[in-house]
Amino acid sequence: MSPVNLATSSSPHYESLPLTKHPNNPIDYDNDPNHDYTVLAYAIPIPYRLNSNGILFSLFTILFLTTSLYYLWPSNPELTIVRLKLNKFNAHAFPAKLDVELDLKVRVLNKDVYDLVYRSVTVEVVYRGSKLGFVEAKGGKVKAKGVSYVNATLRFDGIEVLEDAVFLIEDLARGVVTIDTVSAVEGKVGFVYVYIPIKAKVSCEVDINTSDHTIRRENCFSE
């Protein structure tokens, strides 16, 4: 057997295979002119499409519900002092004491479409931020959109104001003592066994002339 001449034997021949367009083969389909593909579009069905009448009906329903809620939602009653009469007033510097007797008439306005049931009306007398005392009138009922009047008399004899003695002496020197009255009502309104608690308050700032024991000025405001 003659030896094989490796030097003269021909080199193996390799040919590149065509690329197979397979989903797993990372081929740039956008830049491949030989590739044809189809884009499928799917239409999603819309179960309901609003027309102009449906939109108007929805807006009207929202407006109706909002308006009804505004008028039906309970609100706090409105308190007004319609009469404030000073029957008695004395101020003593040593020791610092006050004698006060006031008659008040409180107007309770129920602005709601439900009846208002209140437990009581409380009236306090305050001097320089310190509560001197209070009186409580019995409760009652105010019909829807109705008005009720409550009378209260505050009578305090020899109420000590030791912590505010310096201020009392100053007030007596200038001839005017200022006291505050705070009237408050608490109750509930509602219907069909659903009740919502409500409350209201009105304060009056009263300047009393110490020489003739009369009211010089009064200023009332709701809180």
Which stretch of DSSP H or E encloses residue 60? helix 52-72
Task: Report yes or no on 204 lying in a domain.
Answer: yes
Give the DSSP letter of residue 18: P
* 72-120 pLDDT, tens digit each: 677 889 999 999 999 999 998 888 999 999 999 999 999 888 888 888 8
Of residues 145 and 26, which shows the higher confidence score?
Answer: 145
Task: Report yes or no on 175 lying in a domain.
Answer: yes
Number of domains in the chain: 2
Task: Report yes or no on 120 lying in a domain.
Answer: yes
**Per the structure block, which two tokens stand in for 70?**
């505004």
CATH of the domain at 167: 2.60.40.10
Of residues 65 and 122, which shows the higher confidence score?
Answer: 122
Task: Report yes or no on 83 lying in a domain.
Answer: yes
Single-letter amino acid, residue 185? V
The order of strands in the sheet holding 78-92 is 78-92, 97-109, 147-160
**Per the structure block, which two tokens stand in for 196?**
């919502």
Task: Report yes or no on 165 lying in a domain.
Answer: yes
Identify whether the C-beta of residue 125 lies closer than 8 Å to the C-beta of residue 156: yes
pLDDT confidence of residue 101:
93
Domain around 46: 39-72
Tokens 């009237």 found at: 183
51 shares a domain with 141? no
* 30-74 pLDDT, tens digit each: 555 555 555 555 555 555 555 677 777 677 677 766 665 556 677
191 shares a domain with 218? yes
104 shares a domain with 131? yes
Task: Report yes or no on 16 lying in a domain.
Answer: no
65 shares a domain with 111? no
Mean pLDDT value of segment 175-199: 84
